[in-house]
């Protein structure tokens, strides 16, 4: 049984036919070759698969692709504009907010959503907003500094 989906991904319309057991993560990576979003656990615990649906962070590993038809999906590939890094990306680079980089796409998406709602978050607010994104390398300190350093972001 196949399901025809109309999606909007990074502001581009995408029409795709999928079997309904596929998660959004699988469709992004395996069918659309948007491999920026990572699978860390597959069970919604680590946040490496975080994408934005209508601007809200969700775990794409637990979201069936069929559940997001006609929704606005934003992945890490949608942050940079014409080879110019998004302010949050520049901040992570400049502050050294990553080591292996595997958790980074998910963290960027959660950070973008946070700053969209709260351009000047406190450290407590940052740590709470990023609580669903686990990092095994950095100890989070420079991640927090990166979010603090990011300027007010344009609506993604």
Partner 1 sequence: MKRFDYLAPQNLTEALQMMADRPEAIPLAGGTDILVQMKEAQRPVEALLSLKRVPEVHQITQNGKLTLGAAVTAGQLATDPQIQQAYTALANGAGLIGSIQIRNMATVGGNLCNAAPSADTAPPLLVLGAQAVIVSTPGERMIPLEEFFLGPGRTVLQPGELLKEIVVPQPLARSGSCYLRQTPRAWMDIAVVGVAATITLAADDTIAEARLALGAVAPIPMRTTAAEKLLTGHTLTDDLLQEVGTAAAQAAKPIDDLRASADYRRHLVNILTQRALRSAWAKAKDSQGA
CA 30/CA 133 separation, integer angstroms: 22
Residue 37: CB partners within 8 Å, gap ≥ 6?
25, 28, 29, 48, 49, 50, 51, 60, 75, 76, 105, 106
Give the nearest distance from C-beta 82 to partner 1 in angstroms: 29
Decide: is 63 part of the binding site for partner 1 (CB under 8 A): yes
CA 19/CA 65 separation, integer angstroms: 9
Give the nearest distance from C-beta 23 to partner 1 in angstroms: 8
CA 98/CA 119 separation, integer angstroms: 21
Tokens 């609506």 sit on residue: 155
Which residues in 110-139 contact partner 1 (CB under 8 A)? Answer: 110, 113, 128-129, 131-133
CA 17/CA 145 separation, integer angstroms: 42
Decide: is 16 part of the binding site for partner 1 (CB under 8 A): no
Q: Which of 8, 14, 31, 44 binds partner 1 (CB under 8 A)?
A: 44
Q: Which of 8, 10, 31, 67 binds partner 1 (CB under 8 A)?
A: 67
Decide: is 62 part of the binding site for partner 1 (CB under 8 A): yes
Decide: is 53 part of the binding site for partner 1 (CB under 8 A): yes
Question: Would you say 37 and 75 are in contact if contact means Cβ atoms under 8 Å apart?
Answer: yes
Contacts with partner 1 by CB under 8 A lie at 1, 3, 19-21, 23, 42-45, 47, 50, 53, 56-59, 62-64, 66-67, 110, 113, 128-129, 131-133
């Amino acid at each position: 049984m196949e399901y025809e989906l109309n999606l909007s991904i990074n502001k581009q319309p995408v029409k795709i036919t999928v079997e309904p057991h596929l998660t959004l993560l699988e469709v992004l990576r395996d069918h659309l070759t948007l491999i920026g979003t990572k699978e860390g656990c597959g069970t919604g615990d680590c946040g490496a698969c975080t994408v934005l649906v209508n601007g809200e962070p969700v775990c794409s590993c637990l979201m069936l692709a069929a559940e997001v038809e006609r929704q606005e999906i934003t992945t890490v590939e949608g942050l940079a504009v014409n080879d110019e890094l998004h302010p949050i990306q520049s901040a992570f680079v400049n502050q050294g907010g990553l080591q292996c980089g595997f958790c980074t796409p998910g963290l960027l998406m959660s950070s973008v959503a946070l700053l969209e709602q709260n351009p000047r978050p406190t450290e407590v607010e940052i740590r709470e907003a990023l609580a669903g994104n686990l990092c095994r390398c950095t100890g989070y300190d420079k991640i927090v500094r990166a979010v603090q350093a990011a300027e007010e972001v344009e609506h993604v």
